[in-house]
Amino acid sequence: MPIDIERATLEEINAEVRRLIEAWCDRRCLRALRDVFAGWPLANHLTDGWASFMDAMKNVRAMARAELTEEELNAVDDLVRVAERAIYRR
């Protein structure tokens, strides 16, 4: 289920990332797992923490695209947009 990019709470964001990680663990999607853990869990809720999260999700999208389902790729895109909103206050 897609998250609301403009109104997503931290709990919803964490739940979405956990859902992705569980699916990737089940399928042994090691590239995606390697990249996601570079930025999650958020070290802090400041701009630099969100930037690390955004970079991690962008790396998942770029480097592990072949491992992701269409639904997972859409979720990663949504999470990148959520991080962009947190960083740039769009």
Tens-digit pLDDT profile for residues 64-89 = 999 999 999 999 999 999 999 999 98
pLDDT of residue 90: 59
Contact 17, 78 (CB under 8 A): no
Please indicate, yes or no, if residue 17 is contained in any of the structural domains: no
Q: Is the residue at 10 inside a domain?
A: no
By CB atoms closer than 10 A (0-12, 13-18, 19+), residue 27 is middle
Domain count, the chain: 1
13-65 tens-digit pLDDT: 999 999 999 999 999 999 999 999 999 999 888 999 999 999 999 999 999 99
Does 81 map to a domain? yes
Q: Measured between alpha carbons, how far is 64 from 70 in angstroms, rounded to an integer?
A: 12
pTM: 0.93
Domain that holds residue 81: 29-88
In a domain, 82, yes or no: yes
